Amino acid sequence: MAQSNYDPEAFSKNLGLVLEKMQRASAQMVSQQGENPPAMTPQPDVAAAFFEVGAKLMSNPKAMWEAQVELAKEYFELWKHTMSKLAGEETEPLIRPADRDRRFKDAVWEENAAFDALKQAYLLTGEWVQKLVHNAENIDPKTRQKVEFYTRQAVDALSPSNFFATNPEVLRATLDSNGENLVKGMDHLLSDLERGKGMLQVSMSNPEAFEVGRNLAITPGKVVYQNPMMQLIQYEPTTEKAHKVPLLIIPPWINKYYILDLKPENSFVKWAVAQGFTVFVISWVNPDAKLKDKNFEDYMLQGPLAAFDAIEKATGEKDVNVIAYCLGGTLMSATLAYMKNKKTSDRVKSVTYFTTLTDFKEAGELGIFIDERQLENLEERMKIQGYYDGREMAAIFNSLRANDLIWSFVINNYLMGKDPFPFDLLFWNADSTRMPAAMHSFYLRNMYLKNKLIKSGGIHMCGVPIDLHAVDTPTFMLSTREDHIAPWKSTFEATKYFKGHIHFVLAGSGHVAGVINPPGKPKYQYWVNENTKSTADEWLKKAKEYPGSWWPHWAEWTKKYSGPLAPAHKPGDGKLRILESAPGSYVKVRS
């Protein structure tokens, strides 16, 4: 792998710079560690879970012996494979990376016998360890899930691709540049530590490449209403006529609304306006300690309910259609139950849920971070801050896909010394938001921990018992097949208790990419089956697959509840004055 342009003097000089910057980075992390404990620090109960699984494994020595013999056989077969490869023979590998695994894409991992052996040994061992944990007998499902998750984190972290000395692409870049890649990598590391105030925030996208209001969230519109919790944006029509019933979009407040208004070519908002909808979007506040006592019902009162009244003043229309995304959908389901109790739910002509959980029984791997002990620790920290730091939530979300959302950037930024690619979706992903302490505690305890939302009267909003089983609003449910945050089979459970017409659509890909799949450049497919009276697996088995974007399918469904076409409403036409231009000021507040 040696290169002709190798310069020992330049390499030595750069190595000295790398060591100096490493010392600075270490000192910065140590000095800030007490103030910003890592979000992924395992809790004491994780150690107890590993101890329990280990004890169960050791209590069955026969199974452990058989497992070790199996691994030894695989190592022996790998040794034979490597010897054959060194002898110049064509041999079939014992194990290959998964199709979506990009860690070993460099040709050297396959062409070079030593790196090929290292890669296969890692894959065989990682698969063996995870299989061992998965097959442990008499383990509580929650404990098993926790141990499997942290085992996978360890396996991912120990990949040879993550280390300088065992990554052929990094070694080649180091020799080609005489170590300049490592110097640049340490500069990136120091910059990320400074930006995170000692807590490492790995840059996923070039932070200078995008700016909200300049090249993201630029669909023309105006802020026509605001309160302490949100700003309401009304978008400029691009058609002479629009459907009579306005459309309100309620995003989650875990993230910022402009995931639905990224660049013009993949902006759902821009596209929906072009389909003849009068579009309004809630832009939630990025709360600080002053809003620590704001609860889930405050988000209802000053979110959708306030928006409905504001939209009526802006357009003269009492009726609305609603799109609610993720946590925004969880809120909207409770809001509809509240409105049903108050006999006002008929003003919502239809509701669309994007990747929304209402039954949290099987809430996916996020449940690993939510148990009584961890919640108590989190609540103690939130008492001091007054809010939950969005960077911690982002770190947890990223850990669910660690190879794609953590380690690939460690390699690119710190080992290869490359600048992050300017990717709008990842820029948004890093633009985290805080959450008020009272709201976040209520949400985690009542939904994730106790699953009370699904129980009739399990929670109360403003003194009203919430019963999702009474909701009969026509419903379009959009879930995504590879969703790690709102598993689609769990979202499907809502079809069993919502009344009225329910149209369930499953899109390809995950929680975000499956939603942001515009017709112009569709990457994924979607499935439709009108019969939701079956299990999720049965539904998918009989569902019809369609290529391309699901957006036009949604538009056709929603237009049935949108009324006739009428002269389009422009911001400022009604009783609400224009406060400022979109995207507004709330969305620009950084954590």
User: For 223-254, how does the pLDDT look when each residue is reduced to its tens digit (9 = 90+)?
Assistant: 999 999 999 999 999 999 999 999 999 999 99
Contact 382, 588 (CB under 8 A): no
Contact 252, 432 (CB under 8 A): no
Residues 143-194 pLDDT 10s: 888 899 999 999 999 999 999 999 999 999 999 999 999 999 999 999 988 8
Per-residue pLDDT at 2 exceeds 50: no
Give the C-alpha distances (Å, rounded to integers) separating 361 from 165, 207, 355, 358, 491.
44, 38, 16, 9, 10
Region 487-499 average pLDDT:
96
Token reading at 6: 């190798």
Region 568-574 average pLDDT:
96
Region 118-126 average pLDDT:
97
More confident call, 523 vs 327: 327
Comparing 100-114, 137-151, 530-544, which segment has the lowest mean pLDDT?
137-151
Region 324-340 average pLDDT:
98
pLDDT at 39: 45
Q: Widest CA span of the chain, in angstroms?
A: 82
pLDDT at 370: 87
Per-residue pLDDT at 67 exceeds 80: yes
- Rounded Cα distance between 117 and 109, Å, is 9
What's the chain's average pLDDT? 93
Per-residue pLDDT at 462 exceeds 90: yes
> For the chain, what percent of residues have pLDDT higher than 70?
97
Comparing 20-29, 73-82, 451-460, 568-577, which segment has the lowest mean pLDDT?
20-29
Comparing 259-273, 323-337, 397-411, which segment has the lowest mean pLDDT?
397-411
**pLDDT-based confidence at residue 374 (cuts at 50, 70, 90):** confident
pLDDT at 44: 57
Contact 538, 506 (CB under 8 A): no
Contact 32, 197 (CB under 8 A): yes
- Beta strand segments in 295-365, E: 320-325, 348-354
More confident call, 42 vs 23: 23
SS3 content of the chain, % helix, strand, coil (to 5): 50, 10, 40
Give the C-alpha distances (Å, rounded to integers) separating 488 from 363, 369, 420.
10, 20, 31
- Strand 247-250 relative to strand 279-284, pairing: parallel
> For the chain, what percent of residues have pLDDT higher than 90?
78
Tell which residue, 402, 406, 405, 393, has the closest CA to residue 432: 393
In the residue annotation, 326 being an active-site residue is answered as: yes
Per-residue pLDDT at 112 exceeds 50: yes
Per-residue pLDDT at 1 exceeds 50: no
Region 83-105 average pLDDT:
93
- 134 Cβ neighbours under 8 A, 6+ residues apart: 144, 148
Tell which residue, 495, 492, 505, 443, has the closest CA to residue 468: 495
Which residues pair with residue 325 across a beta bridge? 354
Q: Which of the residues 326, 394, 400, 426 is marked catalytic?
A: 326
More confident call, 128 vs 28: 128
Per-residue pLDDT at 41 exceeds 70: no
Contacts 24+ apart (CB under 8 A), 376-381: 377/43, 378/440, 378/441, 378/444, 379/437, 379/441
- Rounded Cα distance between 120 and 196, Å, is 36
Per-residue pLDDT at 11 exceeds 90: no
pLDDT at 4: 55
- 476 Cβ neighbours under 8 A, 6+ residues apart: 350, 351, 352, 353, 503, 505, 554, 557, 558
pLDDT at 23: 86
- CATH class of the domain at 221-389+432-588: alpha beta
Region 138-142 average pLDDT:
86
- Identity (one letter) of the amino acid at 346? D
Per-residue pLDDT at 423 exceeds 50: yes
Per-residue pLDDT at 42 exceeds 60: no
- Strand 565-567 relative to strand 241-243, pairing: antiparallel
Classify the C-alpha dihedral 150-153-155-157 as positive or negative.
negative
**pLDDT-based confidence at residue 45 (cuts at 50, 70, 90):** confident
Per-residue pLDDT at 369 exceeds 50: yes
Cis amide leading into 97 (omega within 30): no
- Measured at the CA of 590, the angle between CA 419 and CA 403, to 5 degrees, comes to 45
N-terminal to C-terminal alpha carbon distance within the chain: 44
The phi and psi torsions of 541 (rounded to 5 degrees) equal -60, -35
**pLDDT-based confidence at residue 3 (cuts at 50, 70, 90):** very low
Domain ranges in the chain are 8-195, 221-389+432-588
pTM recorded for the entire structure: 0.91
Cβ burial, residue 4 (10 Å; 0-12/13-18/19+): exposed
